[in-house]
Amino acid sequence: MSHELLVEVRGLSKAWAAASSPGQRAAALLRLMLGMRLHRKETLVDVNLDVYRGQSLGVIGSNGAGKSTLLKLISGLLHPTTGSVVVRGRVGALIELGAGFELERTGRENLYISAALHGIDTRTLAELIPEIVAFADIGEYIDEPVKHYSSGMVVRLGFALISALRPDLLITDEVLAVGDESFQRKCIRWIEDYIAGGGTLLLVSHSTYHIQKLCKHALWLKDGRVQAYGDVFSVTQDYLAFHEHLSRAASDSEKETPSQNEYRVDHVRINGLDDEKILLSEPSVQCEIALRSPDGRPPRLGWGLVRADGTAIYGAVSDMHEAQPIALPEGFVYSLDVDLLALLPGQYTLRFHAMDPEGIRMYDTVERFLTLRGSTRELGLVRVPHKWKSGCPSA
């Protein structure tokens, strides 16, 4: 990555006019003619962003978060409501699964007009067309109207055109969501070569796998605002954890833990800290759990580790391993060391349950939220020990 600033976004905001019905549209026209302001709804709020030449930035966020709006503003397809966008270089954009092809025209006719709009003259395009057709793998369909294409073919042709133009800045919006496996692989290979050759990428995708694979940095947009911006793994892991929390919140919404219990968790310290959220630098935790007992008998401690979406990973009760608490005047304290080496990066929850001495009933629960960082593209919850064998398969 060089230090040449290619995209400079400052205080960027975009607000859409709230006018969808014919009456509202007519009223909007009247207001505009009278020089009055329109009622607007903010889609993007105060976004600041620098993209340097050679950088690969993934943009993630839920539907309606403002990702496409941001890309359109950077591509010059939209004007900002406030703020500014400066792009130094030629932009190739594939926004909303297309390159702006007209359905009634053939692929070839569309290529000519799209290429001209990207500053490519007819002669240069004529030389590029065999390469484009081969990349898009659409054969004789190039002379068929685009309305006869499948959605995958449209995207393939759009991507093939943009790839042939080799822009300074490549902007793609969900291009990898359409198209078959082999085309996706072809796209990914091309993008990797493009980045390796000094190209700059802005990629919108709902696939964190693609974002992690192709980008070094990520921007998370939430409700039109930058929620996080930085290293791709940190941002995507936070993003996934957020969605896991949402899923769990939805499933837990009916459950309410009673607040007053006989046996209860007095306090929990993780690595000597009372914090609820803990960012782990090492994959291990030392826990100190203090329990209260109403009758002086030592309560049992149940503990569990769950993924942020509530998926259970492990759980145990103190008596299973014959663990005994230290008795103090104010209660009982359990000490527990947990090795998290097998866990993949992500967000997890440690749950501690105060139980009666018989281990029959669970009275109280306290949670601590752990964030485990890491730069791996492995998938799943835990790292399963395995070994690759290189060489020829055995006969």
Partner 1 sequence: MLEGSARKELIDIAQSARIFAKDELRQRIADGAIGVFWIFLAPLLQLAVFYFVFVELFQARSAGVNNYLVFLSIGFWPWLAFSETVVRCTPLLVEKAGIAGKVRISRIGMFTGVAFTSFSFHVAGFVLVLLVLSCWGEVTISTNWLLLPILWAALFAFSFSIAIIFSLLNVFIRDTARIVGLFLTLWFFTTPIFYPASSLPSFSSNLQAYNPLGVIIAINRDLVQGREVSSLSSPSIILICSAFALAVFLYRRVRFELEEFS
H helix or E strand, kind and range, residue 73: helix 67-75
Nearest CA-CA partner of 186 in 131, 242, 248: 131
Number of amino acids touching partner 1 (CB under 8 A): 36
Binding mask 83-112 for partner 1 (x = CB under 8 A): --------x-xxxx-xxxxx------x--x
342 binds partner 1 (CB under 8 A): no
Nearest to partner 1 of 17, 323 (CB atom): 17
77 binds partner 1 (CB under 8 A): yes
Give min distance, CB of 113 to partner 1, in A. Answer: 5
Residues 6+ apart with CB under 8 A from 44: 12, 13, 14, 66, 69, 70, 73, 221, 224
User: Which tokens in the block code for residue 240?
Assistant: 């996934």
The half-sphere exposure of 49 on its side-chain side, counting CA atoms within 13 A, is: 35
18 binds partner 1 (CB under 8 A): no
Near partner 1 by CB under 8 A: residue from 7, 51, 60, 118? 118
One-letter amino acid identity for 207? S
Instruction: Tally the residues of the chain.
Output: 395
114 binds partner 1 (CB under 8 A): yes
Give min distance, CB of 100 to partner 1, in A. Answer: 3
316 binds partner 1 (CB under 8 A): no
17 binds partner 1 (CB under 8 A): yes
Nearest to partner 1 of 33, 392 (CB atom): 33
Near partner 1 by CB under 8 A: residue from 16, 52, 242, 369? 16
Nearest to partner 1 of 100, 359 (CB atom): 100
32 binds partner 1 (CB under 8 A): yes
CA 111/CA 117 separation, integer angstroms: 10
| Measured torsion, CA atoms of residues 316, 317, 322, 324, in degrees rounded to the nearest 10 | 130
The sign one gets for the Cα dihedral 37, 43, 47, 51 is negative
79 binds partner 1 (CB under 8 A): yes
Strand partners, 314: 305
Q: What is the CA radius of gyration of the chain?
A: 28
Residues forming contacts to partner 1 in the complex (CB under 8 A) are 16-17, 19, 22, 25-26, 28-29, 32-33, 35, 38, 72, 75-79, 91, 93-96, 98-102, 109, 112-114, 116-119
